[in-house]
Structure 1
Amino acid sequence: MKQRSTRVVAYVRVSSEEQAMSGLGLADQRATIQRAAELRGWPDLTFISDEGFSARSLDRPGITDALGQLAHGQAGTLVVAKLDRLSRSLLDFAQLMDTARRQGWELVVLDLALDTSTPSGALMANVMASFAEYERALISQRTSAALQMKKSQGARLGRPRSLDPAVSQRIMADRADGYSLTAIANALNSDGVPTARGGRCWFPSTVAGVLRSVALDREAQARSA
């Protein structure tokens, strides 16, 4: 069995609005992580940062680099000072924990005292993953309820001429939370949500088309305002 790397990747992040706020600066995060490294005996610590990026999505160069190193076994642990430095989405965080489990690296979140290498940390990770799954189920339930309401009001769901607004909102919310086009399409297919033309199968290109359509509608509304 291949031995896991002892190298620790420390991830720090600030958005442009937060750079001047007390307790959220890069120096504060680095100092917190450095103290933890000394207490835990982490000899090989590398800092990776994202400056001026929001945590609403994982589409950031720094975290992409960090996750790539972990996936390729170049590091064995990812540590952050605060959970919101890594992600503000419970669903995203649950997905990261699942990735860590599958790829065999550990995740440490200092403000939550979460360390997936310990039994208590693994338990907390499972609890948070359960809440994330519950949140996903609620979103699916709301989408299904909205479609059923339309059906009860006489709307034709078999081959609708346009996409139900509830579905558009779901797609926009999932994309804002950092989900890929493929992941969104798979979730819609799993829930049996029809496409705008009544089709039974969503593709990444179909999801992208909805996102473009919503963006164009918003742009048109802004011009006419």
Structure 2
Amino acid sequence: MATMIGYLRVSTEEQASSGLGLDAQRDTIQRYADAHGWDVAWYEDAGLSAKSLARPQLQAALDRLGVSPKRRDVDGIVVAKLDRLSRSVADFAGMLELARSRRWALVAIDLGVDTSTPTGELVANVMMSVAQWERRIIGERTSAAMQAAKRAGRHMGRVSVLPEATADRLLELRATRTLAATADALNAEGLTTATGVPWTENAVCKAHKRVAQTSPTPRHSSKDLPLTI
């Protein structure tokens, strides 16, 4: 009976996405393995992107596959979706060459291909090229949209809200203290930024500008602030 490495991967953004979770991938691989009479050795990388092959469990799987065929205890690697391995054509091409030279199989269930065959290798290469093209197109469109929004004066990204009590205290401190002293005082009082991290001079400067602009009745005008920052 053949033993295949079942590789699972999900990025941070994909963890909550339907059909991309680790459990869904595991179920797909297990059913495929049962149908082919394989044993499965599981490896998984959770919260990691496929932009590179520098993933701990993937590298461990490749190391296990990299020994000589006579000493190897696994016959290949199987994934539910090809992009669970890589979205880079160059990286995937290197993996294909490694599979050929070491004589192990790479199976992508979503494509129904096995790279130990010439046809399976051809289809896998074409699909990886399409996946990389799609990622680059999405990136270009996102960048263009962000630039258009920036020109229109719209904010892009998550907006964090500073608690009113913290904002008032920041204004009060800035009336008589430098940025550094204000950050130290806020941290000493256990008050954090809107994202829950300690204050820095830069964070105080940015927060003060936002608070001063949005406060309907500012407690202190800019002329009250010390010139030294």
What is the TM-score when the length of structure 1 is the normalising length? 0.52
1:114 counterpart = 2:110: no
CA RMSD of aligned residues (A): 2.4
> 2:202 aligns to what?
none
Out of 43, 46, 49, the residue aligned to residue 51 of structure 1 is: 46
> 1:207 aligns to what?
none
Question: 1: CA distance between counterparts of 2:126 and 2:84?
Answer: 20
1:68 counterpart = 2:68: no
Question: 1: CA distance between counterparts of 2:18 and 2:125?
Answer: 32
Query: How has the CA–CA distance of structure 1 residues 19 and 125 changed in structure 2, closer, same or farther, with 3 Å as cutoff?
Result: closer
Question: Is the 1:97–1:125 contact (alpha carbons within 8 Å) kept by the matching residues of 2?
Answer: no
Q: Deviations over 1:162-220 (max 9, x none)?
A: xxxxxxxxxxxxxxxxxxxxxxxxxxxxxxxxxxxxxxxxxxxxxxxxxxxxxxxxxxx
Query: How has the CA–CA distance of structure 1 residues 13 and 126 changed in structure 2, closer, same or farther, with 3 Å as cutoff?
Result: closer
Query: How has the CA–CA distance of structure 1 residues 56 and 123 changed in structure 2, closer, same or farther, with 3 Å as cutoff?
Result: closer
Question: 1: CA distance between counterparts of 2:64 and 2:31?
Answer: 23
Question: 1: CA distance between counterparts of 2:122 and 2:15?
Answer: 34
> 1:204 aligns to what?
none
Question: Is the 2:89–2:125 contact (alpha carbons within 8 Å) kept by the matching residues of 1?
Answer: no
- Higher helix share goes to which structure? 1
Query: How has the CA–CA distance of structure 1 residues 18 and 123 changed in structure 2, closer, same or farther, with 3 Å as cutoff?
Result: closer
Question: 2: CA distance between counterparts of 1:124 and 1:52?
Answer: 28
Question: Is the 1:94–1:128 contact (alpha carbons within 8 Å) kept by the matching residues of 2?
Answer: no
Matches for 1:168-207 after TM superposition, within 5 Å: none
Question: Is the 1:15–1:53 contact (alpha carbons within 8 Å) kept by the matching residues of 2?
Answer: yes
Bigger Cα Rg: 2
> 1:31 aligns to what?
27
Question: 2: CA distance between counterparts of 1:123 and 1:54?
Answer: 24
Residue type of the alignment partner of 1:7:
T
> 2:103 aligns to what?
104
Cα distance, 1:125 vs structure 2:
4.9
1:40 counterpart = 2:32: no
> 1:181 aligns to what?
none
Q: Deviations over 1:85-119 (max 9, x none)?
A: 11011111111111100011000011111202335
Cα distance, 1:128 vs structure 2:
6.8
1:94 counterpart = 2:93: yes
Cα distance, 1:6 vs structure 2:
2.6
Residue type of the alignment partner of 2:62:
L
How high is the sequence identity, in percent, across the aligned residues? Answer: 52
What is the TM-score when the length of structure 2 is the normalising length? 0.51
Question: 1: CA distance between counterparts of 2:101 and 2:91?
Answer: 15
Structure 2 portions without partners, runs of 5+: 134-229
Question: Is the 2:100–2:116 contact (alpha carbons within 8 Å) kept by the matching residues of 1?
Answer: no
Question: 2: CA distance between counterparts of 1:11 and 1:87?
Answer: 12
Cα distance, 1:120 vs structure 2:
2.7
Q: Which has the higher contact order (CA 8 A, sep 6+)?
A: 1
> 1:79 aligns to what?
78
Cα distance, 1:40 vs structure 2:
1.2
> 2:2 aligns to what?
6
Across the two proteins, how many residue pairs are aligned to each other? 128
